[in-house]
């Protein structure tokens, strides 16, 4: 499996990389997932029982410290990146140049 290199470099400042995953809440129907499941079945992958599709976002941000980065990313998720009515979000944060 291919592995991914770390993010870009910015003038030696503290850049954090957030990897955010946004998924539909379990109670919400996933027509896109059902469509992919149908395609997999037509390609012969009958063993597939269910498919759920979500988004992954890598965000590089430049902040003073880890807590500030975490608070800001959480706010970005609540305000823009995830729809709180139908989606759940989670993220991990790494210190990276």
Residue 97 in contact with a copy of itself, rule: CB under 8 A: no
Residue 50 in contact with a copy of itself, rule: CB under 8 A: yes
- What's the closest the beta carbon of residue 12 comes to a copy of itself, in angstroms? 13
| Pairwise CA distance, residues 93 & 67, whole Å | 10
Residue 3 in contact with a copy of itself, rule: CB under 8 A: yes
| Pairwise CA distance, residues 35 & 33, whole Å | 5
Residue 94 in contact with a copy of itself, rule: CB under 8 A: no
> Is the backbone of residue 60 left (phi > 0), alpha (psi -120 to 50) or beta?
beta
Residue 58 in contact with a copy of itself, rule: CB under 8 A: yes
Q: Among candidates 50, 53, 59, which has minimal Cα distance to 17?
A: 59
3 state DSSP class of 16 = strand
Residue 36 in contact with a copy of itself, rule: CB under 8 A: yes
3 state DSSP class of 19 = strand
Residue 5 in contact with a copy of itself, rule: CB under 8 A: yes
Binding residues for a copy of itself (CB under 8 A): 1-5, 7-8, 10, 15, 21, 23, 26, 33, 36, 39-40, 43, 45, 47-63, 72, 74-76, 79-81, 88-91
């Amino acid at each position: 499996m291919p592995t991914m290199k770390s993010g870009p470099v910015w003038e030696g400042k503290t850049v954090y990389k957030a990897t955010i995953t946004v998924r539909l809440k379990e109670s919400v129907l996933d027509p896109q997932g059902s469509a992919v499941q149908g395609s997999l079945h037509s390609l012969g992958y009958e063993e597939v029982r269910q498919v759920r599709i979500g988004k992954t976002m890598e965000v590089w941000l430049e902040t003073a410290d880890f807590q500030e980065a975490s608070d800001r990313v959480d706010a970005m998720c609540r305000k823009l990146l995830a729809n709180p009515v139908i989606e759940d979000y989670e993220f991990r944060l790494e210190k990276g140049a």
